[in-house]
Amino acid sequence: MKNRTLLVIIGLVLLLAGPAACNYNGFVNKDEEVKKAWSFVQSAYQRRADLIPQLVNTVKGAANYEQQTLIGVIEKRASQLNQGAKIDPDKLTEENIQKFQAAQAEIGSGIGRLLAVVENYPTLTATKGFQDLQVQLEETENRIKAERDKFNEAVKQYNVAVRRFPGNIFAGIFGFGQKAAFQAEAGSDKAPEVQF
């Protein structure tokens, strides 16, 4: 009788150990995919931040340039880099993602204002160096969008694994919780109003 009970217990342990190990390894793989995707997002944003000094230096040479816009872009870039625009991939909470998005939105709006003001200087916009920088910035913005989309897909796959039964039981046991994804910015659901 004792041997039979012992065999039943060993059998149950082995029966649970296999799925537990598979689920744990699956969570680890998906978590690493999220971290990898996040590193690509940060790399794309870093590329944009690295292009800003080149853009600013190119624009500085324009006669009568509006210094306030230039200073604003430089200050926003410095503040973005100093205010924790980098998030530890293990702390991808909704709050941290929102802070990251807010910091990046400030930089984007500063670049937008800088480019709008530059339109008043046709000789500057006609230079090859400035045109090359505009192309690089556009490519970088496209890369940022693509990397954010890949990140969101990795987060979705991870979150589905964490929430789906029976994985949700093992996720709770092993301490794997849901991760936050990028959300659309406030007001992006409305088309801009164009007036002539």
pLDDT, one tens digit per residue, over 4-41 is 887 778 777 766 677 777 889 999 999 999 999 999 99
Terminal CA-to-CA distance of the chain, rounded, Å? 90
Note the pLDDT of residue 84: 54
31, two tokens: 């978590």
What tokens appear for 12 in the block? 């149950």
Q: What is the pLDDT of residue 194?
A: 39
Q: Residue 164's pLDDT is what? A: 93
Global confidence as pTM? 0.77
> Looking at residue 39, what is its pLDDT?
93
* Residue 40 confidence (pLDDT): 94
What is residue 161's predicted lDDT score, i.e. its pLDDT?
95
Q: Crossing angle, helix 67-82 and helix 94-118, to 10 degrees?
A: 160
The contacts of residue 55 (CB under 8 Å, 6+ apart) are: 73, 111, 114, 133, 137
Instruction: Tell me the domains of the chain and their CATH numbers.
Output: 28-34+46-174 (1.20.1440.20)
Which residues in the chain land under pLDDT 70?
Answer: 1, 14-16, 60-72, 74-85, 186-196
For residue 174, the surrounding DSSP H or E stretch is helix 167-174
- Rounded Cα distance between 107 and 76, Å, is 6
Q: b/e map of 131-144 (b: 16 or more CB within 10 Å)? A: eebeebbeebeebb
DSSP 3-state of 180:
coil
Biggest distance spanned by C-alpha atoms of the chain: 96
* Distance of alpha carbon 68 from alpha carbon 77, whole angstroms: 14
Beta carbons within 10 angstroms of residue 152's beta carbon: 17
